[in-house]
Amino acid sequence: MTDLLADPNLDGLLAQEWEDYFLRALLAQLSETEQEALTRLSIFRTRLGDEEFGYAGADAAAVRRWLDLSLLQRERVQVPDLPKEMEALLHLLPEAERRKLLQAESYSVHPVVREYLLGRGTEDERRKLHLWAAAYHGRPFVEIARRYAAQSDQSWTDEEIEQVARGQVVEAAVAQTDDLAQARGAMDRALEWQHHLFQAGDYEAAGEIVTAVWEILDRWGERDRAKALLRGSIETLEGSSKAVAQGNLATLLMEEGKLDEALETYEEIYRTFEVLRASQQMAVVLSQIALIYRDQGKYERAIEYQEQSLELFREQGDKKGQAISLHRLSIFYRYKGDYATALALSEEAERLYRKLQHEAGMAWSLHQQGTILRLMAGAAQIDDEGMTHLRAAAERFRQSLAIKRRIGNEAGAADSLGELGKLWMAAGQMREAIAAFTECAEIYQRTNNPAKLGITLEFLGRIHERQGQYVAALEKYQQALGLLRQYSSPQQQAVVEDDIARLQAKLRAGERRQDTGSEDDKVGG
């Protein structure tokens, strides 16, 4: 150490030069093959194991040498939940047996070493390393796509196979719900594949992976990560591919309530498709803009844009697009309070869906008509007219429910059951209302929709309250409030809080009456 400090060649060296000084000496002890393998491994961001070493062409002797020279560092091995007595005896077991109990050892290239090795190469060499790493992370997905192509007797090119792997295969792998740990593992690998493709400049391929995973990331509560990936795609893509990424980002912005930003994004998308003369995509974007204006309460603007969308679909002869536009127009007119126009548009949409034999669309339209007729009943000046509308509404909801059950749309069936429950409750048919709301709640619980479950529990609470079953009603209200505080709006929470306050006042009043009664009995005695 004294000789080192006295070396005049080291005077005034910067930290980086010190690193170079030591690393050059350490790396000089490696063969050219070992240096090349270590440089390849430096491109990985994930931990390294036997699979990665084999892919880089590094044998066990090379790994030991890297460890000895501190070029490679061993990551801490996590001990599983074992009894303390067994943990103390682990070191006595043979190596092979110990490995069975412990997690597989993993390693990483020291950050200083990684930066130094990658910094020595040219930009083109680093790009090739990223492509090499991308091929490694994409292997499992590509292999699945290759097997699918073979089983389908389809002659796909390698590029077509990889495109399917980046899209459908990745999406299926991360969207699975049977094994969430496996899904998260697939997500980690897919995002590493995307990272290396992106760093290599293959932006189109990287964007395909982002398109496949962003919705799942959002579902897992990782919206910021999804937005960052989409913004990265938007900055690097052009034309329709860029517009797709922008559309996905706009969807997230709408979910967050950032409507002005979402509107600006959709307007830019529309201009892109307008230049490309892609009228189908233009119609879809106009429809999305209409939804934003609806959310802003600007129903006239929403109707204006949806009518433009409908006109484009008519020019293209797209019957399904026309039906969707008519259905949305019906909703906008319902929000405006123009129930007659809303009903006529919904019935026109239903006729188109029937011609297309589109059962889901028929169910949507019938449910919409039931909602409109219920509102018309509430606005009716004559009791007989109101009852006619209510009977018609109930029939539409029943028809919608039957279709949804037939096609296996559980969530949609729950929505129709909820509407029927409200109608039966209003008509005083409490037994039928309880049956509808109970089944509705079971479906929402099974399909993991806590916000709607909370609202349904509140309706059950109201029925119990009307029947004088205050303890049961209070239990339902409290369950509803617990869910709505986590998953719904403050306004909805306030409604249930009012329900609870009202019911508690009734319970206190009942207790006071009981106390007074007992005193009267004593006096009378």
Cα separation, 339 vs 321, in Å, equals 23
Structure confidence by residue, pLDDT tens digits, 474-487: 999 999 999 999 88
Please give the share of the chain, as a percent, with pLDDT higher than 70: 88
Looking at residue 512, its pLDDT comes to 62
d(CA 111, CA 89): 34
What is the H or E stretch that residue 498 is in?
Answer: helix 490-524
In whole angstroms, what separates CA 474 from the centre of its chain?
A: 34
Residue closest to 460 by CA, chosen among 475, 444, 445, 443: 475
Determine if residue 258 is left, alpha or beta; phi over 0 gives left, psi from -120 to 50 gives alpha, anything else beta: beta
**CA-CA-CA-CA torsion for 258, 259, 262, 266, nearest 10 degrees?**
180
Please name the amino acid found at residue 247.
G
Count CB-CB contacts under 10 A for residue 129.
22
pLDDT at 515 over 80: no
- Residue 456: count of CB within 10 angstroms of its CB: 28
**Measured between alpha carbons, how far is 146 from 430 in angstroms, rounded to an integer?**
58
- Give, for 500, the enclosing helix (H) or strand (E): helix 490-524
- For all residues of the chain together, what is the average pLDDT? 88
Helix (H) or strand (E) holding 73: strand 72-74
The predicted pLDDT at position 36 comes to 94
**pLDDT 10s digits, 112-128:** 889 889 988 899 999 99
DSSP string for residues in 60-118: HHHHHHHHHTTSEEEPPPPP-S--HHHHHHGGGS-HHHHHHHSPPP-EEE-HHHHHHHH
The label of the residue with tokens 């729950």 reads: 414
**What number of other Cβ atoms are within 10 A of residue 473's Cβ?**
25
4 pLDDT above the threshold of 90: no
Asked if 237 and 245 count as a contact pair (C-beta separation under 8 A), the reply is yes
Question: Facing residues of 73 across strands?
Answer: 108
Q: Mind spelling out the 3-state secondary structure of 172-189?
A: HHHHCCCCHHHHHHHHHH
Domain boundaries, the chain: 13-121
pLDDT average, residue stretch 223-241:
92
Tokens of 379: 């606005």
DSSP-based three-state secondary structure for 48: strand
| Rounded CA separation 462/455 (Å) | 11
The DSSP H or E segment spanning 107 is strand 107-109
Which pLDDT belongs to residue 181?
Answer: 86
Confidence of residue 523 (pLDDT cuts 50, 70, 90): very low
| Helix residue ranges, H only, 408-449 | 410-426, 430-446
pLDDT at position 5 over 80 = no
Specify the pLDDT at position 462: 95
Instruction: Calculate ∠ Cα 131-132-133, nearest 5°.
Output: 90
CA distance 165 to 249: 23
Say if residues 139 and 161 touch (Cβ distance below 8 Å).
no
User: What was the pLDDT predicted at 70?
Assistant: 86
Name which of 34-38, 176-180, 238-242, 345-349 the model is least confident about: 176-180
Tell me: pLDDT of 103 over 80: no
13-121: CATH architecture: Orthogonal Bundle (1.10)
Percent of the chain with pLDDT over 90: 69
Which of 118-127, 229-238, 371-380, 511-520 comes out lowest in average pLDDT?
Answer: 511-520
Q: What is the pTM of this model?
A: 0.70
